Amino acid sequence: MENHNRELSVSMRECLGKIRHVALDMDGTIYLGNNLFPFTPGFLATLRSLGIGYSFLTNNPTRSVADYIAKLAGMGIQATEDNMYTTSLAAIDYIKKEHPVAKRLFMLGTPSMVSQFEKAGFEACGDDPDDVPDVLVVAFDTTLVYPRLCRAAWWASQGIPYVATNPDRVCPTDKPTVLVDCGSLQKCIEHATGRRPDIVLGKPDPTMLFGILDRHGLKPGQMAMVGDRIYTDTAMAHNAGALGVLVLSGETTLETAEEVARNAASSASPELYPPDLIVRDVRELGELLSASRA
C-alpha cells in the first residue's frame, strides 16, 4: 500500500504507466451527494489527454443508464453509454451469458431499471402465478409493493434462476429514514424460502470490471478501480486483479485505511484488502498518471 505522503516506488510508477482505463465510483469520488467536486472536470480532461479511457460505476440500479447520463450532464459532465456500467448492465450481461435463451424476467426494481432490461430485449413478467419467468431478478426497489415481494419469494422457492443486482443492505441517505436496499430484500426472501441468489452482482463482486475489460479488450493490469470505500471499491479491484486506488474525498479516512492495512498484515481481517495506492482525490491521481508517462 502506498499513500500520498510517500514517494511512489518504481513498481507503482510502472503500474500506473500501464493503466489504459480507469473505473470510477461516483458518490464520494467524482461528486458528493449532488455536488460535483471542482477538480473532477480537470481530472477527466487529464485522462483524455493521456489517452486513458474511463467508466462510471454504481451499485445503485434504480436509475437507467440514460437517467445517470442525464444526472451527470446536470453536473456538467458529458458521458455516453460507453462511459457507464451499472449493476443493471452487469445483470443483463450475466443473464445473456449464463442463460442465453432467457427472455422473460420477474423483476423487483424501479420502472427506470425495468426499462433498461426491456431495452436489452427482455420482457417483464406480471404478478401472476401462470406467468412463469425464465429468471428472477431482485434489485433495490424504491417502488416495491408487498404482493410483488411475495411473488418474488414464490419464484425463488420454485427454483427459478435467481440473480441479485447488489449486496447493499441499505442505501445511504441524509434523510431521517432507512432506505432498505437489495441485500435486505435478499435476506427477506431467504428467511421466507431458504433460498439465496445464485449470484449477487455489484461491488465487491468483480463482474462489472470484467464487463468493462471485455468491452474494451483490456487486461486487469491495464485498469485502475478508483473509489472511496475499501470494502467495496478496492476489494472489487483486488477480486478482478486490477489496481485498487482509494481516494480520501469520501467515506474512508487515511487512519481507517492504515488500520485495515495493519489488520490485513496480521491476518486479523483477511477479508479486507488494503488499497494498492491512496490519494487525496482524483486530481492527485491524475497528476500521478501524468508523471508516470513523463
Q: What is the percent of the chain with per-residue pLDDT over 70, rounded to a whole number?
A: 95
- pLDDT over 90 (residue 4): no
Q: Where in the chain is the domain with CATH 3.40.50.1000?
A: 10-59+203-292, 101-200
Q: How far is CA 16 from CA 2, 26, 52, in A?
A: 12, 21, 11
Instruction: Tell me the pLDDT of the chain averaged across its residues.
Output: 92
220: its cell numbers: 486487469
71: its cell numbers: 444526472
Per-residue model confidence (pLDDT) at position 103: 98
What confidence category does residue 3 fall into, taking pLDDT thresholds of 50, 70 and 90?
A: low
Per-residue model confidence (pLDDT) at position 16: 97
Each residue of 44-103: pLDDT tens digit?
999 999 999 999 998 889 999 999 999 999 999 999 999 999 999 999 999 999 999 999
Residue 193, judged by CB atoms within 10 A of its CB (0-12, 13-18, 19+), counts as middle
What confidence category does residue 122 fall into, taking pLDDT thresholds of 50, 70 and 90?
A: very high
Q: Which helix (H) or strand (E) holds 242?
A: none
Q: What is the pTM of this model?
A: 0.83
83 and 54 in contact (C-beta within 8 Å)?
yes
Give the β-pairing of 21-25 and 53-58: parallel
244 and 122 in contact (C-beta within 8 Å)?
no
Per-residue model confidence (pLDDT) at position 252: 87
Domain 101-200 bears CATH identifier 3.40.50.1000: yes
Q: Which residue type does 126 have? A: G
Per-residue model confidence (pLDDT) at position 257: 86
Per-residue model confidence (pLDDT) at position 188: 98
246 and 257 in contact (C-beta within 8 Å)?
yes
More confident: 65 or 268: 65
Domain 10-59+203-292 bears CATH identifier 3.30.360.10: no
Phi, psi at residue 156, to the nearest 5°? -60, -40
Q: Which helix (H) or strand (E) holds 235?
A: helix 235-240
d(CA 21, CA 281): 17
